[in-house]
Chains A and B, each alone.
Chain A
């Protein structure tokens, strides 16, 4: 039986994906489960597996082509099977690819997890642009738009029946050049600039974070924490682990501490869901990781029930795969809390933009030696400033402050972590 290979919606924010590489060619034999094509989603590069066996009869979407989700990429069928109907129906489909998720099945599992549902504003924003797969545009308009990196979805057509024609794309390109990249237009005309096309991940970041700071009422709480004891504990732990090839990082301790504090303050481990608030009973923490063309926050699940060693090992693996763009969607979606640490860049303190659907994010600055008054005397202490960004629809000032107080107290008395 013929099966389709579809550009599945592999994440809630994914609207389109790019075919990176076909690993099978037309005419190649394919077994169910074979990886046939690599695609780039808005977050990661994914391998798409065959859902049926047969021969890769037709590649519909060539390499390096970006298509909306739901687009049929290719057809697997018996060698002599008639696939004319499938091919005829393979134009850009208007529905979600629910019928045949050719991507890894975990994708749907991830969606089934309570925390992974896109909620509130995030979902609303997406539906608009994804409403119709068919865009009426002349071949020339399509060609110019694709070569100049202009999304047809955002252009209003002036041709018959709203068809997008050449002049519409040219006007859109002009408008983009004038207002583009936040450069004031009078500068844009004179200052030379390099035009950097948006990668899928950069598009996703732009969309998500604009959705975040726009509709989510942020407020920020900052606290300075004495890290002396935590650093000493870390040194001791690492000495005890010497020779085992494992090192506990500050981040690992921050993860563990945050998880404990969140379990103590479930109101902060929450999400705004339109007509209700979800207080999650498990702590899944995302750690923001810089990757070459953006950032991604791999999620460590159920941190509250994991020890430091396990946290350290799992995080190292996640971070490495994040940098290689090898994460599966369920590995970077649906955190209940996020930590962003710019301490290694020497940043004293900063505020972070909430990564929906979570209601909070913790921005961690550098640990620095400072002169501090302790019991009436000046002492040199290692101090770290953290700032909690809160979605005010979920977290109030006092609630956030209480969480931070617990978080600080635990880091200042880290032996409690061992308990």
Chain B
């Protein structure tokens, strides 16, 4: 057992799960001088990094880059003065590249663990009482370590509806969708949240006939309505079939393919396809963890119940990331990891303000937001002042050939508080940080408007939207 040589009997801080929550918690705890071990059950070689690095954010974004490049070459290159003949799309190569990116990053985590003196343990961990963890080692055998503090960071996995069980072949989750060898000819995607939207974008670019089905009235139901409508128009232009207000009823598996029956406002409809991607949410990985033994309580929806410092009902046990409840975002998990580590080390830590967690979707055009939507702000009783600026009036966006989209700032009319910022367009996932920082620092639209933004940049649209909220917009 060469890898387990340095395994101690007891640690200050044991993290179960090496995803973006767990690995960050482990590193931060080690920085603070705690002895730390991190247990990871992933069977893939390398395996650290959780869903985010292995089966989620990172490989998906790599594929989305392939999709963007494909569209760019096919639709725009000639306009840009670059003529390309005989374009061939190879999704297998795209997938292979995405795996390489993923591998590189997971290796990076191992490097960081070693650098910080975090013991990596590959295997399945179970809580055995409040201060004990039993591990079935991947390499065989079992061990038991005691821990002053334990962090449960086991994440979540895709869920589906009854009657639509995953079969790993035709009825798939995001995980299988990331490793398709060839693009499905006809695919139905159920759920228009960020996962569904991103895969719709990828498969559309690689030539699939894509239908996306959403039970709620708008795509990206958590985002601002106007923003979602911009994406909807773009999708329809690219011939992605968008079916909102539509829920799936039943699935028939035929020899020739799948028949999905959906209920629309006009009645039932049958859609035939070769592949059905269920992107209808995720469920917590709480099974077989010994949570009951340790006295860790779950809430009504099955997530681990935590307070604002990620403490569970059991003394000395924290839970972070997806398993501790939505929003299921890697950056939320990482921040919670830091909070838990600092708490455990007796340092002061800041609770996370859910209203200041940005959300990004990497379909094209991209969507990014932080804070309240216009509708939520009105429901919360604010007198709202909205400032909008379209990228069609932004120099940098036009040079990039990306006039679609806008920045929309929802401000409080009385004090100018930035209640929410909603963006759709080219690279807006990189622009949202300014808005998030603005909210954390409690800037008003006045400061956003008065901040000099470099020209020509997409970020000028943020300044202009702030100016618009003050009725001082220059470029429209």
Contacts and interface: CB of A to CB of B under 8 A. Distances in A.
Interface of A: 138-141, 143-144, 147, 160, 165-166
Interface in B412-441: 414-417, 441
Given A139-B442, A140-B443, A143-B444, A166 B414 contact: no
Contact of A139 (B350, B414, B446): B446
A140 B417 contact: yes
Contacts of B443: 138-140
The 4 closest A-B pairs by CB, nearest first: A138-B442, A140-B442, A143-B415, A139-B444
B169 interface: no
B447 interface: yes
B441 A144 contact: no
Contacts of B447: 139
A388 to B, nearest CB: 51
* Chain B, interface residues (CB within 8 Å), range: 10 to 19
Contact of B415 (A147, A160, A165): A147
Given A138-B441, A147-B414, 19 more contacts: A138-B442, A138-B443, A139-B441, A139-B442, A139-B444, A139-B446, A140-B416, A140-B442, A140-B443, A140-B444, A141-B442, A143-B415, A143-B446, A144-B415, A147-B415, A160-B350, A165-B442, A166-B417, A166-B442
Residue in A139, A147, A160, A165 whose Cβ sees the most chain B Cβ within 10 Å: A139
Interface in B64-117: none
A227 B444 CA distance: 65
A396 to B, nearest CB: 56
B373 to A, nearest CB: 20
A144 B444 CA distance: 11
Nearest to B450: A139
Nearest to A138: B442
A87 B444 CA distance: 23
Interface in B436-476: 441-444, 446-447
Nearest to B448: A139
Contacts of A140: 415-417, 442-444
Contacts of A141: 442
A147 B444 CA distance: 14
Contacts of A165: 442
Contacts of A147: 414-415
Contacts of B444: 139-140, 143
Interface of B: 350, 414-417, 441-444, 446-447
Nearest to A148: B415
A209 B276 CA distance: 79
Contacts of A160: 350
27 contacts: A138-B441, A138-B442, A138-B443, A139-B441, A139-B442, A139-B443, A139-B444, A139-B446, A139-B447, A140-B415, A140-B416, A140-B417, A140-B442, A140-B443, A140-B444, A141-B442, A143-B415, A143-B416, A143-B444, A143-B446, A144-B415, A147-B414, A147-B415, A160-B350, A165-B442, A166-B417, A166-B442
Nearest to A160: B350
A152 to B, nearest CB: 13
Contacts of A144: 415
A150 B414 CA distance: 16
Contacts of B350: 160
A364 B350 CA distance: 61
A213 to B, nearest CB: 37
A86 B182 CA distance: 67
B377 to A, nearest CB: 15
Nearest to B416: A143
Most B C-beta atoms less than 10 A away, residue of A138, A147, A160: A138
A147 B416 CA distance: 12
Contacts of B414: 147
A143 B416 CA distance: 8
Contacts of A143: 415-416, 444, 446
A138 B441 CA distance: 6
Nearest to B446: A139
B370 to A, nearest CB: 15
Nearest to B418: A140
A144 B415 CA distance: 6
Nearest to B447: A139
Contacts of A138: 441-443
A143 B417 CA distance: 9
Nearest to A141: B442
A400 B415 CA distance: 56
A293 to B, nearest CB: 27
A140 B447 CA distance: 10
A165 B353 CA distance: 14
Nearest to A164: B442
B168 to A, nearest CB: 48
Contacts of B441: 138-139
A139 B442 CA distance: 6
A352 B416 CA distance: 46
A24 B237 CA distance: 59
A310 B415 CA distance: 55
A141 B447 CA distance: 13
A140 B441 CA distance: 9
A165 B444 CA distance: 12
A61 to B, nearest CB: 16
Most buried by B among A138, A140, A141, A147: A140
Nearest to B417: A140
B381 to A, nearest CB: 14
Nearest to B412: A140
A143 B470 CA distance: 15
B355 to A, nearest CB: 12
> For B350, B417, B446, which residue has the most chain A Cβ atoms within 10 angstroms?
B417
A217 B444 CA distance: 49
A160 B440 CA distance: 11
A141 B442 CA distance: 8
Contacts of A166: 417, 442
A138 B442 CA distance: 6
Contacts of B415: 140, 143-144, 147
Nearest to A166: B442
A144 B417 CA distance: 9
A160 B414 CA distance: 25
A165 B417 CA distance: 12
B421 to A, nearest CB: 15
A396 B325 CA distance: 74
A4 B334 CA distance: 50
A137 B447 CA distance: 14
A165 B446 CA distance: 17
B419 to A, nearest CB: 11
Contacts of B416: 140, 143
A65 to B, nearest CB: 14
A286 to B, nearest CB: 42
A141 B446 CA distance: 13
A262 B447 CA distance: 59
B420 to A, nearest CB: 14
Nearest to B438: A139
A166 B444 CA distance: 11
A47 to B, nearest CB: 31
A221 to B, nearest CB: 53
A195 to B, nearest CB: 16
A292 to B, nearest CB: 30
A284 to B, nearest CB: 47
B372 to A, nearest CB: 14
A138 B417 CA distance: 11
Nearest to A165: B442
A315 B225 CA distance: 71
Nearest to B441: A138
B51 to A, nearest CB: 32
Contacts of A139: 441-444, 446-447
Nearest to B443: A139
A35 to B, nearest CB: 30
A148 to B, nearest CB: 9
A334 to B, nearest CB: 42
Nearest to B414: A147
A138 B416 CA distance: 12
